[in-house]
């Protein structure tokens, strides 16, 4: 049975429409990939600074870009694009953003469970000015930070009530001391509070 000329024309038009659809869909694939890549970027804002953190696809840690704001309300796009005057911190030892103070950037460093490394950059001089180990959250007041820092004290049944439980479960233990650090003066003061923490 012969197909009419009109039916042939309809079929050709349908085939062309499908081809155009797939060509258009394929043309959009790069933008979809860019969206996925952008998912590895996160931003953090402070009155003076804007930070863009880009996770590494083939490694742990992140590259960090700090932009210097001209006003607290300045709106900066959350896109990792270095420009003149920016401060770029390439990943070295699995660094991640932890917190801002007024004039300092504090990074978390390492791949192990807590306690982990703490690194403080002075954003005025763009230099590392302080390093330590820390656990739990970091409290900020101006340019002063408070956190639990690893000590050299030996865990015992007296200073670590759960020591037996930790060791029975194949874990270690460490004594942490709550400290306050003035990053401008680079002074570290022990508050006297301690805590025993399980380690792997």
Predicted pLDDT at 113: 87
Predicted pLDDT at 179: 98
Predicted pLDDT at 38: 56
Structural element, H or E, at residue 32: helix 29-38
Q: What tens digit of pLDDT does each residue of 97-139 get?
A: 999 999 999 999 999 888 999 999 999 999 999 999 999 889 9
- pLDDT above 70 covers a percentage of the chain that reads 80
For residues 132 and 145, what is the distance between their CA atoms, to the nearest angstrom?
12
Query: Cα dist. 156→94, 126, 160 in Å?
Result: 32, 41, 6
Are 115 and 133 in contact, with CB atoms under 8 Å apart? yes
Q: Quote the tokens at residue 141.
A: 């007041």
Mean pLDDT of 2-21: 42
Residue 184 above 90 pLDDT?
Answer: yes
Q: Quote the tokens at residue 129.
A: 């000015």
Predicted pLDDT at 159: 95
- The single residue listed with the structure tokens 């960090």 is 64
pTM of the model as a whole = 0.78
- Residue 190: phi and psi, rounded to 5, are -80, 130
Q: Residue 103, class by beta-carbon neighbours within 10 Å (0-12 exposed, 13-18 middle, 19+ buried)?
A: middle
Predicted pLDDT at 32: 28
Predicted pLDDT at 145: 98
Residue 7 above 50 pLDDT?
Answer: no
Are 144 and 183 in contact, with CB atoms under 8 Å apart? yes
**For residues 23 and 43, which has the higher predicted lDDT (pLDDT)?**
43
For residues 104 and 121, what is the distance between their CA atoms, to the nearest angstrom?
5
Count of other CB atoms within 10 angstroms of residue 176? 22
Q: What tens digit of pLDDT does each residue of 138-177 get?
A: 999 999 999 999 999 999 999 999 999 999 999 999 999 9
Residue 88 above 60 pLDDT?
Answer: yes
Taking Cα atoms as reference points, which of 69, 29, 32 lies closest to residue 48?
69
Query: Cα dist. 198→72, 115, 116 in Å?
Result: 41, 10, 13
Q: What tens digit of pLDDT does each residue of 25-84 get?
A: 333 333 223 333 356 899 999 999 999 999 988 889 999 999 999 999 999 999 999 999
């Amino acid at each position: 049975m012969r197909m009419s000329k009109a039916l042939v024309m309809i079929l050709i038009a349908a085939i062309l429409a499908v081809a155009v659809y797939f060509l258009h869909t394929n043309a959009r694939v790069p933008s979809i990939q860019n969206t996925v890549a952008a998912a590895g970027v996160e931003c953090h804002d402070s009155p003076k600074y804007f930070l863009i953190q880009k996770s590494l696809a083939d490694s742990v840690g992140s590259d960090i870009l700090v932009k210097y704001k001209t006003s607290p309300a300045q709106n900066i796009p959350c896109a990792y694009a270095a420009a003149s005057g920016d401060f770029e911190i390439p990943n070295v030892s699995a660094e991640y953003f932890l917190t801002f103070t007024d004039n300092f950037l504090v990074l978390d460093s390492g791949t192990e469970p807590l306690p982990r490394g703490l690194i403080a950059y002075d954003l005025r001089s763009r230099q590392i000015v302080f390093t330590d180990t820390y656990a739990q959250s970091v409290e900020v007041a101006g340019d002063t930070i408070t956190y639990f820092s690893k000590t050299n004290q030996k865990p015992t049944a007296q200073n670590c009530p759960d020591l037996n439980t930790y060791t029975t479960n194949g874990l270690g233990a460490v004594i942490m001391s709550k400290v306050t650090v003035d990053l401008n003066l680079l002074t570290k003061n022990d508050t006297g509070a301690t805590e025993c923490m399980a380690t792997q």
